[in-house]
């Protein structure tokens, strides 16, 4: 990090340091180290003594490297951030104050300290002695975003500390893009108002290896590519979005801007075969034993895959239920080596119906891949593997052997892959290709199932046939003239064990993804016999609005019906909160979308689950041709006592679909669909 700052200074650039310790960034656990979860009662992002002790050690070491580089000491660091978007996580000024103190104790005393949040959350934890900045994205109404901040601090400088130029991709969802003209308009609006901004991201990139995070609810892991639809793409190439941004900034520059550098060289690699392989089950490490199921962290493992094996204590009948509570995150279940089922946390698939009788003594094996720890919200306490227990019917299974399968290159390279073998199921595959010219390339994984890739010892990242990402970026600096080695761990098995290097990425090809919508063929919601617990006409304009219930209501199934909107067109909702007896928002981790009469999936990922994903910049929107009324139905996971509902329309300036007339239904029995 210090070397990066010195390099920036060499080129005349200043640096804003955002050390967290929680940073989000779609990074594993928001940048917090996995081993914190080895302590079973830890409370992350709180004044938990153990957590604060670890944070203090981290910040002290960071200060040793970076504090001497503050502007007043001859360096180029001009600001340092305290925590990150904490108002979207909790209300705890004492904790933010403690992090502020630790940042100062680390030596950051000669530059302004600041905290960032959203326009709806910045005052929850705002400290008087810190600068406040706001984060928002392309299309936002700039005046609305800063209205509350200007009222609270009329003399404070204004800054958008994260202006989201694009968005990140999730496995099984369409590739995300954001409009270039809307991005440029937002930046122009800020420049005209004297508002500072930081582009997130100016340059996309790659989350190499196993570092990609996940969102929850609903659980959804990020792709390895972090291209982000940024002005400079994953491989460092300027895009048409960059050209528009550059043209705008030129109008404010005092002198001509330099021409962008030539793009890095790109090479193609002809198709080659990975001709050596070995089954994962033939190369298992020495097992550990555990009477009860325990998560991955309990076995001192942070990432990769983990295999749990036991013998059935009794015969199991066809049709019995095997419950794996919970699978974090993607599991394959085997009986005496035969695949029974695959379970996907994205679908809350934590159980299977046995397809055949299994005799007592059958070897049950459950192979679980950790797909990335949740990096946002309360779900960051995201332990991997199997987190609770495994039950056959009502019988809890015990007596486990546990095999840790870490994702490091040394572990993968130690496998004795043999030529001419073609194992079915999980296996390591090894091959070589030869180059005469070195350059960046994009490995084409379309023939493969699900797993990880290493080239010359470097972990490129995860792949998954469902997409939308179908290639892995391979930087030319990791290649060499002559022979290059590739290792692929495919947990499903390839259609063909071949690879090739393309001259451009494939980031927008979905195959076999989850259903685009939450409405099954023939489904129609029938509310004719239902009585709403609340109904209201919302005010025109953006921002959160509250529908207070006349009397508290209890139920598991929620229906929000939008009978009309303020502007002609589709209906759109960014977020929904339910308020508990204390008037505070209830947790959403167990919520699940059951139905939406319409969802726009052609031009955006505007599905119903976006109303509870804790992201104000994503939204549910109906298709333009769909007619009101519109409704979504959510399963809350348990019966909750509710005193009101908060609803947030889309945040973009002039966006259509703001709800007008609304009805809310809450009941214990499912709605008729």
* Tens-place pLDDT, residues 204-260: 999 999 999 999 999 999 999 999 999 999 999 999 999 999 999 999 999 999 999
- Looking at 433-542, list the stretches that DSSP marks H as alpha helix, in order from N- to C-terminal side: none
How far from 227 is each of 75, 203, 247, 471, CA to CA, in Å?
31, 8, 22, 12
What is the model's pLDDT at position 139?
A: 92
**Structural domains of the chain sorted by starting position, each given as residue range(s) with its CATH number in brackets:** 1-129 (3.20.20.80), 152-259 (no CATH), 269-278+415-502 (2.60.120.260), 284-405 (2.60.120.260), 534-667 (no CATH)
pLDDT value of position 57? 98
Q: Which residues pair with 451 in a beta bridge?
A: 463, 490
473 contacts: CB under 8 Å, gap ≥ 6:
206, 225, 234, 235, 440, 442, 460, 505
Residue 124: Cβ-neighbour burial (10 angstroms; 0-12, 13-18, 19+): middle
Is 162 part of the annotated catalytic residue set?
yes
Q: How many residues are listed for the chain in this entry? A: 673
Q: pLDDT of 420-479, one tens digit each?
A: 889 999 999 999 999 999 999 999 999 999 999 999 999 999 999 999 999 999 999 999
Q: Would you say residue 161 has pLDDT above 80?
A: yes
Give me the chain's average pLDDT, please.
96
Q: What is the pTM of this model?
A: 0.95
- pLDDT tens for 537-596 read 999 887 899 999 999 999 999 999 999 999 888 999 999 999 999 999 999 999 999 999
Active-site residue, selected from the candidate residues 162, 297, 600, 616? 162
Question: Residue 485: pLDDT band by 50, 70, 90 thresholds?
Answer: very high
Q: Minimal CA–CA distance to 216: which of 650, 481, 588, 632? A: 588
- Return the structure tokens found at 526: 């029938």
Q: Which of 28, 85, 365, 652 is catalytic?
A: 85
pLDDT, tens digit (0-9, with 9 covering 90-100), for 528-544: 999 999 999 999 887 89
Phi, psi at residue 459, to the nearest 5°?
Answer: -85, 110
Residues 6+ apart with CB under 8 A from 389: 292, 293, 325, 396, 397
What distance in Å separates the CA atoms of residue 591 and residue 606, rounded to the nearest whole number? 17
């Amino acid at each position: 990090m210090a070397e990066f700052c010195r390099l920036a200074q060499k080129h005349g650039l200043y640096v804003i340091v955002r050390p967290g310790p929680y940073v989000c960034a779609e990074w594993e656990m928001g940048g917090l180290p996995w081993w914190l979860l080895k302590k079973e009662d830890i409370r992350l992002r709180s004044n938990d003594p153990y957590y604060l002790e670890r944070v203090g050690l981290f910040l002290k070491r960071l200060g040793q490297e970076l504090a001497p580089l503050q502007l007043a000491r001859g360096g180029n660091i001009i600001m340092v951030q305290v925590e990150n978007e904490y108002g979207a996580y909790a209300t705890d000024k004492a904790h933010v104050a403690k992090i502020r103190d630790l940042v100062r104790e680390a030596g950051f005393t000669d530059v302004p300290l600041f905290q960032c949040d959203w326009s709806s959350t910045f005052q929850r934890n705002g400290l008087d002695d810190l600068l406040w900045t706001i984060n928002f994205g392309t299309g936002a109404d700039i005046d609305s975003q800063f209205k509350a901040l200007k009222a609270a601090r009329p003399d404070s400088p204004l800054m958008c500390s994260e202006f989201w130029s694009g968005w990140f991709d999730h496995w099984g969802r369409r590739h995300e893009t954001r409009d270039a003209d809307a991005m440029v308009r937002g930046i122009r609006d800020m420049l005209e108002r004297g508002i500072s901004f930081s582009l997130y991201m100016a340059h996309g990139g790659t989350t190499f290896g196993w570092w990609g995070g996940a969102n929850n609810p609903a659980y959804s892991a990020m792709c390895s590519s972090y291209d982000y639809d940024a002005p400079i793409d994953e491989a460092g190439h300027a895009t048409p979005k960059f050209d528009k941004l550059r043209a705008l900034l030129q109008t404010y520059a005092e002198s001509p801007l330099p021409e962008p550098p030539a793009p890095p060289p790109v090479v193609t690699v002809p198709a080659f075969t990975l001709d050596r392989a070995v089954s994962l089950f033939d190369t298992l490490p020495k097992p550990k034993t555990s009477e009860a199921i325990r998560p991955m962290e309990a076995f001192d493992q942070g990432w990769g895959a983990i295999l749990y094996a036991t013998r059935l204590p009794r015969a199991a009948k066809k049709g019995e239920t095997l419950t794996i509570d919970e699978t974090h995150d993607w599991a394959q279940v085997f009986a005496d080596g035969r695949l029974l089922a695959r379970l996907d946390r994205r679908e809350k698939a934590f159980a299977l119906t046995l397809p055949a009788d299994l005799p007592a003594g059958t070897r049950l094996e459950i192979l679980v891949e950790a797909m990335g720890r949740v990096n946002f919200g309360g779900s960051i306490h995201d332990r991997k593997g199997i987190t609770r227990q495994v039950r056959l019917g009502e019988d809890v299974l015990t007596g486990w052997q546990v095999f840790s399968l870490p994702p490091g290159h040394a572990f993968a390279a130690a496998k004795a892959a043999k030529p001419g073998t073609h194992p079915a199921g999980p296996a390591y595959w090894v091959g070589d290709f030869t180059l005469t010219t070195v350059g960046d390339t994009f490995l084409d994984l379309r023939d493969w199932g699900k797993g990880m890739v290493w080239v010359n010892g470097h972990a490129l990242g995860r792949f998954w046939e469902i997409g939308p990402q179908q290639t892995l970026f391979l930087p030319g600096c990791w290649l060499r003239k002559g022979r290059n080695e590739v290792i692929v761990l495919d947990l499903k098995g390839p259609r063909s064990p071949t690879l090739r290097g393309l001259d451009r990425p494939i980031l927008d090809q979905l195959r076999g993804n989850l259903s685009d919508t939450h409405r099954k063929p023939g489904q129609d919601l029938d509310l004719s016999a239902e009585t709403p617990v609340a109904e209201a006409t919302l005010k025109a304009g953006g921002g959160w609005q509250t529908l207070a219930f006349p009397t508290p209501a209890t139920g598991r199934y929620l229906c929000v019906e939008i009978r009309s909107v303020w502007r002609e067109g589709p209906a759109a909702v960014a977020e929904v909160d339910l308020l508990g007896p204390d008037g505070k928002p209830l947790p959403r981790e167990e919520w699940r979308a059951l139905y939406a009469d319409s969802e726009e999936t052609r031009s955006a990922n505007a599905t119903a689950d976006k109303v509870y994903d804790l992201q104000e910049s994503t939204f549910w929107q109906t298709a333009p041709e769909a007619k009101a009324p519109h409704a979504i139905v959510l399963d809350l996971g348990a019966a909750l006592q509710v005193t009101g509902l908060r609803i947030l329309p889309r945040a973009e300036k002039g966006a259509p679909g703001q709800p007008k007339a609304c009805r809310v239904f809450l009941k214990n029995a499912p709605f008729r669909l």
